[in-house]
Amino acid sequence: MQTENKKGFQVKDLIVTALLSLCALVIYIICAFLSFSPYTMLVVSPLWSLLAAITYFLVAAKTKKPWALFIFCAVTGIYGFYPPMIICCIIAGIISALIAWKTGCTNGKTLTFSYIIYMVLAAFSGTYIPFLFFSNQTLEQYAGMFGESYLGILQTLVSPVTAIIMLVVVAICAFVGALIAKKLLKKHFKKAGMV
Amino acid sequence: MKKQFPIISFEHASFQYEGQSQESLKDVKLIIKSGEFLVITGQSGCGKTTLTRCINNLIPRFFEGRLSGEVIVLGRSIKESDAGEAGKEIASIFQDPRSQFFTTNSSSEVAFACENYGIPHKEIVKRVNSAFQSLNMENLKDRDIFALSSGERQKVAFLAATTLNPQIYVLDEPSANLDIHTILQVREILSALKAAGHTIIVSEHRLFYLYGLADRFLIMEDGQICEELTGEEMAELSAVQMHNRRLRPLNLDLIQIERKESICRSEVFLQIRNLSFSHKAMPELLHNISLEAYKGETIALIGENGCGKTTLGKILSGLIRCRQGAFYIDGKNVKQQKLSDYVYFVMQEADHQLYTDSVTEELRLGNKRIPSIDEKVSQILKMLHLENFKDCHPYALSGGQKQRLTIGAAMLSEKPIIVLDEPTSGLDWDNMCAVANAVNYMREAGKLVFIITHDLEFISLTASRALLLKEGIIKDDLQMTEQNNFKIVKNFMVEEGGE
Amino acid sequence: MNKLRKHGVYYDSRIKLLLILLTSALAFALGGGLTGLLLFGVVCLFALLSGLWKTSIKVAIVYIVLLMLAQVLPIHLSSVITFFLLRILTIAFALNILFQTTEISELIAALQASHIPQAIVIPVAIILRFLPSLKQDVLYIKQGMKTRGVGLSFWRIVSHPAQTYEGFLVPILMRLLMTATELSASAETRGISYPCEKTHYILVDFRLRDSILLIGMLALFAVIIWTSFQPISF
C-alpha cells in the first residue's frame, strides 16, 4: 500500500514497534512458564521463536522501516535484563536492519533469514551462554561436592553438543514460525487492510 | 468576551485517505470564529472525525492522503504545519481514554505536553498544580492511571489539555465511554472553557450534554456539510425532526419509552440468591444480590462507571468466578462456573470477540452443530444489514458493523440468556436502532436479555425492566411500562442515585 | 508525594537497574554455593534498604527452604534447585525491587537524564505502560472465547493448538495496531516529536547519597567476585 522508506523517523512507527515488541515479550513470558526445570527450559527458546514470528513480521509490514527492526530486536533484548543477551540482540538488530535496508522490508525470504539469525542469537545469549560458558566453574565446584556421577548429569544438559543441537532446533522453529507468520499476515492483516 | 474573528477556515477542502477509494471530505467550506463553540454531528463515517483531524493538523502528515483546497488554522495552512507544531495552540481530546495516555501517573500525564514543548521544570510544576486546582480535581492528583475509572481518566485528559492554555480545543467523541452523570461533569468543564474565551470544536453523536452550550451545529453527510443550525434552532427541533436527520436527541426530556408487548409472566426462569462478590483484596463490590427473571424480559442494569454492573454480568455468565451465591435456571440449581453453558455474554469491546477471517465464519464459530446453520447465518446477516460484507474480514468493518456482528453471533447462539455490555457506546442513531431491533428480536424470540448500558434512548427502545445498582446493591427494580418509572430511571442516571 | 516512597530510603532508580543487570550477569557467571548466597544477601540488603520488609522475609524464607531441600533431596532434584531455582529467585528478587518501589515516570525521567536516545526510551516507556492493558486484553479475549463455546482449556489447546493460537493472537495484534494509531495521534498532538529540548516534571538528580550507595554496591559485588575465585567452598 505504501511505498517503501517513504519518510524517515516518525513516532507512529516507533509506537507500533514498541507495542509489537511488548507482544513478543508477553509471548516470551508465557513460554517462560515452562522453565520451571532445566529440562523443560530447553523448550522455551524454540517455542518462542515459533510463536513470536508474527510480531517481527508485522513490524516490517506495518512500518516498512529497517530501523524499526533494530529497535524491535534491541528492546526485546533490553527486557532480557541480562547483559550478554542485550549485546547479542543489539547485534541481531543491526544485522536485521542491514538486511532489510538492502533488500526491502517486504521481502519475505530475507525477512525469514534475518528472523532466524535474531532468534538464534537471542537463544544463544539468553539461554545457552549462562549454562554453557559460565557453568564450567560451577560444575567443577559441584563435582567436588557431589561426586563425578552428578557431573555427568549436568554435563549432558549443558554440553556444547546439546547447545548446538538446540540452536539448530531454534533455527528450524524460527523458520516454521516465519512460514506461519507470513500465512497469518496474508489471511488476516492484509485482508483486514491493517498493513 | 474577545472580539470574534475567523480562526479556522476551510476553503473548498477535500481529503482522501491513502488506500481508500472515496473522499472523506468533499469540498468543505467553513469558517470558525474565535471563541465559538461548534458541534459537528452526523452518522458514523460522515467525515466529522476527518474534519477534526484537519483542525488539529493530524492531516496531512500523520494521516496521509490527498488534500486539495485549503485549510487555514490560526493563520497557517495545514499543508505547511504538523500536529506537533499546532499542538501548542490546539489541544485534542479523543474518544478512548484508555489509549490516549502515555504515562501511568495522572500528574505526569498532565505534565506530558509541557515536557514535550520544553517548558521549564518550575513552570511545569506550577501549571500542573493549578490545573488540578482550577478544575477542582485535586483528588485525581498523582494517582495511578489504572486505578481510575474511565470517567476520571477522561477528566485527566481534559486537565492535560489545559496546561498549555491553548486557544482551540478539538474533541472527538469525548463522551462515548462515559455515564450520564460524568458527561454532565464534562459539560461543566466545557462551559468553563467556553467562558474563558476558548474556541471549542466537538464531534459527537450524543448531543444532550451540549444543549444550551453550543453556538452552532453542523450536520454532515457523505463528507459534506449538509445543514447548519444555530444552538437555538437546534433546540426547537422535535424528537421526530431529530430522528429524521438521523440524530440523537438534544434534550433528554424528549425521550419517551416505547410500548412493548406485554410479557407473559409464566415461571421464573433465572433466579439468583444472595450473591456477594469482591475482587481480590478489595472492598466488597456486590452485596447480597437476589434476583428473579423471566423469559421474554429485557432487563437494563444501570449504575455509574465502576459500580459493578459489568462484574455482575460476567458473574452471571460464568466468566468471573464468584463463590458466594446460588443460581437456579428453570428451577434447577446450576454451579456458578457452569453458567456459561446457559448465558451468552457480549462484551463492550467488539475487538475482543472476533476470532476468524470472515464475517460468515465468525457467525459459524462455535455454532457448527446447530441444524441448518447456513440458512440461519444468512437470515441474520440480512437482518443486521451485513450481507454485503459477508466475506469481509471482521476487522475491516466499521465500529458499528463490528458491534452488530458480535450481536449476530449472540443471536445465533442457542443459549437462553444473553447479556450485552454497553452495546451502543459510540454508535450513531441508525446503528443504535439496528442494535435495539436485534435486542427486541431476541426478547420476542423468548430469550432473557440483560443490557448493561448508559444509553437512555437505548433503554427507552428496548428495556422492559430496569435494575438500578448503587453501592453494591439493587436500589430499585422498576417495570418499564410506565413513563413515570422511566423518569425515575432518568433521574437516577443523571444524578447517579441522588448524591 | 507518592505511595511508593513511604517506607525505606529513597535512592536513584538507575542504581536499582544496575543492581538487576549485575545480579543477572553474575548469578550465572559465578559459582553457586557461598557466592550465590552472598549475591542473594546483597539483593536482600537493597530490598531492606528500600523498605520491602515483608517481601524480603518471604523471599529469604523460600531461599532457605530451597537450600535445605537441596541438601536432603536426591541429586537430580537438588541439582535443579542449586543450579537453577536459587539463581532465578535471586534475579527475580532484584527485579521486584525495581518494580515495587519505582514509579514508571520516574524511571523514564532517569533514563532520559542519562542521555539515552528517545528512540529507546519511548519504547521502554510504552512497554511498561501497556503491559497491564495487554494483560486485560488477554483476559477479555479468554472470556470472549469461553462465552462462544471455544474457551481455553487444556483439552482444547492440545486438540486445536493452531486455532487457539490464531484465535488468541489475531485479536490482540489487531487491537495493538489500533492502539498504536490512537496513542501516537494523541502523542503527536501533544508535541512528542516537537523539535526542542525536552524538560521534566519529575526531576531526578544523582545526589551524594546515591553516589555513596553506588560505590558501596560496587564494592560488595567486587567482594563477591573475589570470593568466587577462592578455593574454599562449603
Q: What is the pLDDT of residues A37-79, one digit of tens each?
A: 666 777 889 999 999 999 999 999 999 999 999 999 999 998 8
- C155: its cell numbers: 483439552
Residue A136 in any domain: the answer is: yes
Q: What is the DSSP letter of B215?
A: S
Question: What's the confidence (pLDDT) of residue A155?
Answer: 64
Q: Which residue among A23, A67, A83 sits closest to C172, beta carbon to beta carbon?
A: A23
Number of structural domains (chain C) is 2
Residue A165 in any domain: the answer is: yes
Q: What is the DSSP letter of B218?
A: E
> Are C210 and C99 in a shared domain?
yes
Residue A145 has pLDDT above 70, yes or no: no
Residue A128 in any domain: the answer is: yes
Closest chain C CA to residue B145:
C129
Q: How far is A53 from chain B (nearest CA, A)?
A: 19
Question: What's the confidence (pLDDT) of residue C158?
Answer: 86
Residue A6 in any domain: the answer is: no
Tell me the pTM. 0.90
- B472: its cell numbers: 453494591
Q: How far is Cα of residue C192 from the mean position of the Cα atoms in its chain?
A: 27
Residue C1 has pLDDT above 70, yes or no: no
Q: Which residue among B83, B101, B107 sits closest to C189, beta carbon to beta carbon?
A: B83
Query: Of A155-159, B87-91, B277-281, C9-13, where does mean pLDDT reach its minimum?
Result: A155-159
Q: What is the DSSP letter of B259?
A: P
Residue C82 has pLDDT above 80, yes or no: no
Which residues on adjacent β-strands are paired with residue B66?
Answer: B16
pLDDT tens digits along C190-222: 999 888 888 889 888 888 889 999 999 999 999
Chains touching A, CB cut-off 8 Å, 3+ pairs? B, C
The residues, ordered by sequence, that sit 6+ positions from B190 with a Cβ below 8 Å of its Cβ are B37, B200, B202, B210, B213
Closest chain A CA to residue C192:
A11
Residue A83 in any domain: the answer is: yes
Residue C81 has pLDDT above 90, yes or no: no
Question: What's the confidence (pLDDT) of residue B99?
Answer: 84
> Are C190 and C228 in a shared domain?
no
Residue A66 in any domain: the answer is: yes
Residue A5 has pLDDT above 50, yes or no: no
Query: Of A88-92, B476-480, C129-133, where does mean pLDDT reach its minimum?
Result: C129-133
Q: Which residue among C132, C179, C203 sits closest to B99, beta carbon to beta carbon?
A: C179
DSSP string covering A67-93: HHHHHHHHHHHHTTT-HHHHHHHHHHH
Question: What's the confidence (pLDDT) of residue C5?
Answer: 47
Question: Which residue positions in chain B have pLDDT lower than 50?
Answer: 1-2, 497-499
d(CA B432, CA B387): 18
Closest chain C CA to residue B342:
C147
Question: What's the confidence (pLDDT) of residue B176?
Answer: 84
Phi, psi (degrees; rounded to nearest 5) at A96: -60, -45
Question: With bands split at pLDDT 50, 70 and 90, how would you rate the model's confidence at C234?
Answer: very low
Domain encompassing residue A85: 11-187
In this prediction, residues A150-171 reach a mean pLDDT of 76
Question: What's the confidence (pLDDT) of residue C159?
Answer: 87
d(CA B455, CA B427): 10
> Are C140 and C177 in a shared domain?
yes
> Are C9 and C85 in a shared domain?
yes
Residues 129-148 of A with CB under 8 A from C: 129-131, 134-135, 137-138, 141-142, 144-146
**A98 with A66: CB under 8 angstroms?**
yes
Question: What's the confidence (pLDDT) of residue A37?
Answer: 66
C191 and B347: CB-CB below 8 Å?
A: no
Domain encompassing residue C20: 1-103+202-234
B396 and A2: CB-CB below 8 Å?
A: no
Question: What's the confidence (pLDDT) of residue B497?
Answer: 44
Question: What's the confidence (pLDDT) of residue A148?
Answer: 60
B357 and A187: CB-CB below 8 Å?
A: yes
Number of structural domains (chain A) is 1
Residue with cell 491553548: B166
Is C174 within 8 Å of chain A by CB? yes
Residue C112 in any domain: the answer is: no
Closest by alpha carbon to C43, among C23, C61, C13, C17? C23
Helix, strand, or coil here: C127? helix
Residue C230 has pLDDT above 80, yes or no: no
> Are C41 and C23 in a shared domain?
yes
> Are C141 and C81 in a shared domain?
no
Residue C84 in any domain: the answer is: yes
d(CA C60, CA C55): 8
> Are C170 and C136 in a shared domain?
yes
Residue A171 in any domain: the answer is: yes
Residue A4 has pLDDT above 50, yes or no: no
> Are C70 and C144 in a shared domain?
no
> Are C145 and C37 in a shared domain?
no
> Are C228 and C209 in a shared domain?
yes
Long-range contacts of B311-315 (CB under 8 A, 24+ apart): B311/B277, B311/B279, B311/B285, B311/B286, B312/B275, B312/B277, B312/B286, B312/B469, B313/B345, B313/B419, B313/B421, B313/B450, B313/B452, B314/B345, B314/C143, B315/B275, B315/B277, B315/B286
Question: What's the confidence (pLDDT) of residue C218?
Answer: 94
Residue A194 in any domain: the answer is: no
Question: With bands split at pLDDT 50, 70 and 90, how would you rate the model's confidence at A142?
Answer: low
> Are C191 and C206 in a shared domain?
no
B19 and A194: CB-CB below 8 Å?
A: no
Q: How many residues does chain C have?
A: 234
d(CA A162, CA A154): 11
A18 and C122: CB-CB below 8 Å?
A: yes
- C193: its cell numbers: 516529536
**B213 with B202: CB under 8 angstroms?**
no
> Are C92 and C129 in a shared domain?
no
Residue C111 in any domain: the answer is: no
Residue A139 has pLDDT above 70, yes or no: no
Query: Of C38-47, C147-156, C164-173, where does mean pLDDT reach its minimum?
Result: C147-156
- B3: its cell numbers: 472580539
Question: What's the confidence (pLDDT) of residue C182?
Answer: 92
Residue C177 in any domain: the answer is: yes
Q: How high is the mean pLDDT of chain C? A: 85
Q: What is the DSSP letter of B66?
A: E
